[in-house]
Amino acid sequence: MRIRILIIAALLNIVGAVAAQAHAFLEHANPLVGSTVASAPREVSLTFTQNLEASFSSVQVTDGNGARVDQGKPQVSGNTMRVGLKSLSAGTYRVRWQVLSVDTHKTEGSFAFTVGGR
Amino acid sequence: MFRSSSCVRAFTLALLLVALSVAEAFAHCFVGPRFLPATLATDDPCVADELSLPTVQWSKTGDQPPATEWDISAELSKRITEDLGISIGDTWSQIHQPGGFTAAGFGNFETTVQYQLLKDGPHELALLLGLVVEWGGTGAIHSGLAEPWSTLTPTFYFGKGFGDLPDSFGWLRAFAVTGQVGYSFPTRSFDVDAGVFIPQTLVYGGSIQYSMPYLKSEIRDYQLPDFINHLIPIVEAQFTTPVANNFGNSPITIGTINPGVIWVGTYFQVGAEAVIPVNRASGTGVGFLGQLHLYLDDMFPSTIGRPLLGGGSSAPPQQLKF
C-alpha cells in the first residue's frame, strides 16, 4: 500500500511541473480550410497553436494537376507561416504543410480551397 | 508469492525513477495528419509518453441484487525507443453490496510491453503489438479484488483514419476507427479455493470516432466555437468471451458499449463516457467512465517526454522534405 501511495505521489508530482511547448496544430488558415473564394488569393497564411522552427517548416500549394503554384520558400514568423502564390485561375488547389514546433514536435496536414464558383 | 510481489514493485519503482530522470522527442498518437486520442475503455494503437490519472468508473454489477462498484485507476506509459514502449497501471476498487458489506483494495499490478509495427501517414494507419501482464498476488486477494494467479494477454491493436478517402467524401473523412484483439490465458487452469476452472478468454473491442479537429484543419473550417473544434465524439465497445478451459462456467460474452466524447487540448485530454452493459451478466443499468489523460511528450518535451533510448536531446531534428 505504501509503495502504491509513493507511486501515485510521484505521478502527481509529474503533473505539477509543466513545461510550455507542444505539437503545433493548425489553428487558422487563409483562405479558410475547404472554402471557396471569389477572387484568387495572393498568398496562403497558416497560423498554428505553437511557434515554429523556420528552417524545418514548409508549405507547398499545388493545382489540380499537381503543379506547384506557390512561390517557393515560405516566411515564418512566430506561429505563422506564409507563402506567396502565382496568379491563380479558377479551380481547386491543395495546401500541404509540415512544421516543426520550437520544441521539436513534428506535425503535418493538408487541405483544399477553391477559387471561383467551381 | 511475497518475493514475486516485491520484485514487481521494485521494478515499477525503478522504472518510474528512470522515467523521471532521462531524456528524444516526438508524439502521442499522430499518424500523418491524423491524431488518434487515448481511448478510455480500450487502448490506442501507438506507443507514447502519457499518463492517465485518474480514470474513474462507476457501475452496478450484474449480481442479483446488484452491487455498486467504484474503480479508480492510473496508468503511466513510457517509450523506451521510438517504437518500443511500456506501461504500468493499477486500479483501486470498492464494491458495496446491498446490506452493508463493502470490499475495497487494489487489483493486481498490470504491465504492458508494446511495439509499434507500422505508422503509415498517408493512409492514416497504425498497427501495434503488445503483451499485457496482470501480475498475480500483487493486489487485494483476500478482499476478492485480485487473483493469486497471473494473466498474460498478447494483443494486436490497430487504428485507421479515413482521411485518405477522395475529397468527394467530404465530412466523412473525419471518421476513424481503432480496435484491439487479445487472447488472455491465466498461469493456472483451476481455482482450488472456488473449485472452478479458470477460462482462457478472447478480449476484444474498439472505437469509432469523429474528429472535429480533423474536420476543421483538413476538410472544412466551419468556424465553429473553439470548444466544439476540440471535441472527438466516440463510441467504444469492449468484450470478453471465454473460449477454452471453461468447464462448468457460463459461456456468455460480457461487455459494454460506451458512447461519449473526448475534449482534446494541447497538454491533456478529458473524456467522459456512459457505460452500457450488453447483457445482464455484464452489469446493471448505465454506468459512467471518466478520464483525465496527460500528454507527457508535450508537457516535458526535453525530459520524460522523450524515448529513453535512440536519440539525445542534442541530436538535430530531421530535415523535413516533400
Q: What is the pLDDT of residues B26-46, one digit of tens each?
A: 447 999 999 999 999 999 999
> What is the reported pLDDT for A2?
54
Q: Does residue B24 surpass a pLDDT of 60?
A: no
Residues of B in contact with A83 (CB under 8 A): none
Mean pLDDT of B7-26: 38
Give me the phi and psi of B180, to 5 degrees please.
-150, 145
Residues of B in contact with A29 (CB under 8 A): 217, 221
> What is the reported pLDDT for A96?
96
Mean pLDDT of A71-81: 93
Residues of B in contact with A6 (CB under 8 A): 13
Q: By the CB < 8 Å criterion, does A90 face chain B?
A: no
CA–CA gap between residue A11 and residue A25 (Å, rounded)? 27
> What is the reported pLDDT for B223?
94
Higher-confidence residue of B315 and A3: namely A3
User: Across the strands, what pairs with B190?
Assistant: B197
Distance of CA B251 to the CA centre of its chain: 25
Mean pLDDT of B154-181: 97
Q: Would you give the DSSP letter of residue B318?
A: P
Higher-confidence residue of B230 and A14: namely B230
> What is the reported pLDDT for A9?
53
Mean pLDDT of A15-19: 45
Q: Does residue B92 surpass a pLDDT of 60?
A: yes
> What is the reported pLDDT for B8?
43
Higher-confidence residue of B16 and B265: namely B265
Mean pLDDT for all residues in chain A: 84
CA-based nearest residue in chain B for residue A23: B298
Q: What is the Cα gyration radius of chain A?
A: 20
The confidence band for B316, taking pLDDT boundaries of 50, 70 and 90, is: very low
CA-based nearest residue in chain A for residue B167: A112
CA-based nearest residue in chain A for residue B319: A56
Q: Does residue A34 surpass a pLDDT of 70?
A: yes
pLDDT per residue over B98-115, tens digit each?
Answer: 887 889 999 999 999 999
Q: Which of B217, B220, B268 to mutate to test the interface with A (most CBs of A within 10 A)?
A: B217
Q: Does residue A88 surpass a pLDDT of 60?
A: yes
CA-based nearest residue in chain A for residue B24: A104
The confidence band for A106, taking pLDDT boundaries of 50, 70 and 90, is: confident
Mean pLDDT of B169-176: 97
Q: Does residue B253 surpass a pLDDT of 70?
A: yes
Q: Which of A6, A25, A112 sits opposite B217 (nearest CB)?
A: A25
Interface of B to A at Cβ within 8 Å reads: 9, 12-13, 16, 20, 25-27, 30, 32-33, 51, 53, 74, 76, 90, 106, 121, 167, 213, 216-221, 223, 266-267, 294-302, 304, 317-320, 322
B218–A106 CB contact, under 8 Å: no
Mean pLDDT of B10-18: 39
Q: Would you give the DSSP letter of residue A85?
A: B
Contact B273/B257 with Cβ under 8 angstroms? no
CA–CA gap between residue B153 and residue B158 (Å, rounded)? 16
Mean pLDDT of B227-232: 96
CA–CA gap between residue A32 and residue B179 (Å, rounded)? 33
Highest mean pLDDT among B25-29, B144-148, B156-160: B156-160
Q: Which of B221, B298, B317 sits opposite A34 (nearest CB)?
A: B221
Q: Which of A22, A26, A104 sits opposite B217 (nearest CB)?
A: A26
Cell digits of residue B164:
485518405
Q: By the CB < 8 Å criterion, does A79 face chain B?
A: no
- CA A42 to chain B, closest CA, distance in angstroms equals 20
Nearest CA among B271, B196, B198 for reference residue B232: B271
A33–B51 CB contact, under 8 Å: no
Q: By the CB < 8 Å criterion, does A37 face chain B?
A: no
B33–A105 CB contact, under 8 Å: no
B322–A49 CB contact, under 8 Å: no
> What is the reported pLDDT for B11?
40
Mean pLDDT of A6-32: 66
> What is the reported pLDDT for A117?
60
Q: Does residue A15 surpass a pLDDT of 90?
A: no
Bond prior to B166 in cis (omega within 30° of 0):
no
User: Across the strands, what pairs with B79?
Assistant: B85
Q: Which of A19, A33, A100 sits opposite B320 (nearest CB)?
A: A100
Q: Give the three-class secondary structure for B265.
A: coil
Cell digits of residue B246:
471453461
> What is the reported pLDDT for B96?
93
Q: By the CB < 8 Å criterion, does A9 face chain B?
A: no
Q: Does residue B2 surpass a pLDDT of 50?
A: no
pLDDT per residue over B186-215, tens digit each?
Answer: 999 999 888 899 999 999 999 999 999 999
pLDDT per residue over B123-141, tens digit each?
Answer: 999 999 999 999 999 999 9
CA-based nearest residue in chain B for residue A95: B218
Cell digits of residue B145:
479484488
> What is the reported pLDDT for A39?
94
CA-based nearest residue in chain B for residue A10: B16
> Does the pTM of the predicted model rise above 0.90?
no
- CA B155 to chain A, closest CA, distance in angstroms equals 26
Percentage of chain B surpassing pLDDT 90?
73
> What is the reported pLDDT for A58?
93
A109–B294 CB contact, under 8 Å: no
Q: By the CB < 8 Å criterion, does A52 face chain B?
A: no
